[in-house]
Chain A
């Protein structure tokens, strides 16, 4: 928890220092995408080699999947309503 906040804070400080340099910022964005792909690949590997997960996938997997789908859909639906009510950026310019 603490290391996450510290790493982010360090990143923000570095980012603030290079804020004017657009090309450097673009490189950072591309590196971010590469890291996402690497991380997803590693998560896939971790699931593939985990026998507990692989063996029980067909029995408990469906139950687990339905529950996660329920949780995700419920919160996404509610956030959709909330976003439109309170969070959507106002389109008019002179709005304070």
Chain B
């Protein structure tokens, strides 16, 4: 729980600093986050490799590992359907935004192409929110809803940006499962968004 609070504070400070432009241009124009992410992925790799339990976990779960992306897709669909009932929005739009699974760059590009700027911005924001919600709430989710919760919440981002917090919240033994989950969903984002709009 404490780590969530620390993380929230860093994020909020970042937003404020960005709003008042209290940053050197170099930070805005160079994508340092990419490098920070690579460093992070490497560090996670190290702690996974150093932990004898991590390989054991994959072997024990074996075929059930495939089940997790399915849980994410079905669960997201159910969740989108239930909030859609309270919204003034096309059902296909709602579902297409949900099927971004946090992969905001790709899904917003796709949806902008098919449905225009407004839905593109909604897709961008909504999927950024999914990532942020996961980053902020992962420790609490793992505590209250089981160790799979941070992974399914992270969606496609469970392979990169939310992987560190998932590893911290659910344990190192879930790192490879999380990576697998994210890779599968990343592949499915363009396919599912297209299916929603053309069928």
Q: A interface vs B, CB < 8 Å? A: 1, 3-4, 7-19, 25, 28-29, 31-33, 35-50, 52-54, 56-57, 60-61, 63-80, 82-84, 86-88
In whole angstroms, how far apart are the Cα atoms of A30 and B147 in the complex?
21
B3-43 vs A, CB cutoff 8 Å, 1 = contact: the mask equals: 10011001111111111110100011000110011111111
In whole angstroms, how far apart are the Cα atoms of A35 and B33 in the complex?
10
Contacts of B50 in A (CB 8 A): 15-16, 18-19, 25, 28
Q: Closest CB of chain B to A68's CB: distance in Å?
A: 4
- B33, A42: Cβ atoms under 8 Å? yes
Interface of B is mostly: helix
Contacts of A61 in B (CB 8 A): 125
- A68, B64: Cβ atoms under 8 Å? no
- B141, A76: Cβ atoms under 8 Å? yes
- A7, B45: Cβ atoms under 8 Å? yes
Given known contacts A46-B33, A68-B130, A86-B64, is B45 in contact with A15 (CB within 8 Å)? yes
Contacts of A64 in B (CB 8 A): 97, 121-126, 129
Q: Closest CB of chain A to B27's CB: distance in Å?
A: 6
B76 within 8 A of A: yes
Q: Closest CB of chain A to B10's CB: distance in Å?
A: 4
Q: What are 24 A-B pairs at a CB distance below 8 A?
A: A11-B42, A12-B48, A16-B50, A32-B167, A35-B39, A37-B10, A40-B10, A48-B18, A49-B18, A54-B19, A65-B126, A65-B129, A66-B86, A68-B129, A70-B79, A71-B79, A72-B134, A74-B79, A76-B75, A78-B74, A80-B145, A83-B146, A83-B149, A84-B146
B94 within 8 A of A: yes
Among B3, B19, B126, B155, the one with the most A-chain Cβ atoms within 10 Å of its Cβ is B126
Contacts of A87 in B (CB 8 A): 61, 64, 146-148
In whole angstroms, how far apart are the Cα atoms of A69 and B194 in the complex?
22
Contacts of B147 in A (CB 8 A): 83, 87
Choose among B15, B45, B48, B86 the residue that contacts A45 (Cβ–Cβ < 8 A): B15
- B44, A8: Cβ atoms under 8 Å? yes
- B78, A78: Cβ atoms under 8 Å? yes
